[in-house]
Amino acid sequence: MVAAKHNLFEQVYACLMCSDLTEKIQRLDNLLDDWSERRFEFIPLQKVERIPDPGRPSKPELVAPKALIRRRVGSREGHLALMHSIAHIEFNAINLALDAIYRFQQMPIAYYQDWLGVAGEEAYHFQMVREHLYHMGCEYGDMPAHNGLWLTTYETDHDVMVRMALVPRTLEARGLDVTPPMIKRLRAIGDHRGVEILKILLRDEIGHVAVGTRWYRYECERRQLNPFDEFQRILNTYFHGDIRGPFNYAAREQAGFSEQEIAWLKSIEKQTFDFNDD
């Protein structure tokens, strides 16, 4: 007897909007299992909902970035704040990957396979950091967090090319730059498990940014656009803030950044240092 097919987009939406942590992870496990058993059909839904706030637990309280606790690992509170912020980023990344599937329902099947794989890895990351927090005497949700990553996701829900440029290739790519210094800070205070976790996160996030790069370039080619020029246009139109170094060029190259993009980033970093020297 052939098993009944599930609509991928309906199932992903249910997982995306689920607010209970345990149930959300279980739903994601079910999605991965159904994918491996080829139980999905890919019929676009009649309506795709805009999602100003996806499913998440009532805590952490979301506040402005300036209201967050300083993440200086020299103090216990600062150490906890750093690890809690990483847990929050990884939880948000689960929703980001799920939304990339649900929202853009006319993409090749390989696109959905990529982003479902990313969602599974982000859930693994979240569970690792959450467990580490628990052993440090803290639960995810005990400290405040901010919602900047999802706000950008919401603002880019109209165009898959803009989403790929802004979220994985800009915001998440920043994690490639800042994670090595965080590893050094944790190593300096003897948080060996934290170091192990961040090494895993860095390795996997290179792949996640590469997924964003792959599908961004796919859309540029489909629309006959120059990827570098279009990336600049998207940043100028949608990105709130400055692109700042230092940059992890080796990781960004592994994640698919072109020679032209790397040269551009190096020019930004040089301008930053020249400005600071004045």
Nearest to 8 by CA among 38, 32, 37, 41: 41
Does residue 69 belong to any structural domain of this protein? no
**pLDDT in the model for residue 278:** 43
In this structure, are residues 146 and 63 in contact, taking their beta carbons and an 8 Å threshold? yes
In this structure, are residues 241 and 219 in contact, taking their beta carbons and an 8 Å threshold? no
The DSSP secondary-structure symbol of 41 reads: E
Q: If you average pLDDT over every residue of the chain, what do you get?
A: 93
| 127: CATH | 1.20.1260
Does residue 67 belong to any structural domain of this protein? no
Bridge partner list, 62: 145
In this structure, are residues 71 and 155 in contact, taking their beta carbons and an 8 Å threshold? no
Cis bond upstream, residue 44 (ω within 30): no
In this structure, are residues 94 and 122 in contact, taking their beta carbons and an 8 Å threshold? yes
**pLDDT in the model for residue 210:** 98
Does residue 157 belong to any structural domain of this protein? yes
Element housing 265 (H / E): helix 259-277
Does residue 24 belong to any structural domain of this protein? yes
Q: Which domain holds residue 159?
A: 6-49+75-277
Does residue 264 belong to any structural domain of this protein? yes
Does residue 104 belong to any structural domain of this protein? yes
**pLDDT in the model for residue 2:** 52
pLDDT mean by block of 10 residues, the chain; 278 residues? 81 98 97 96 96 94 78 85 95 97 98 98 98 96 87 92 96 96 96 98 98 98 98 92 90 97 92 50
Does residue 145 belong to any structural domain of this protein? yes
Does residue 125 belong to any structural domain of this protein? yes
**How many separate domains does the chain show?**
1
Look up tokens 């906890």; give the residue.
80
Question: Residues 27-51: pLDDT tens digits?
Answer: 999 999 999 999 999 999 999 999 9
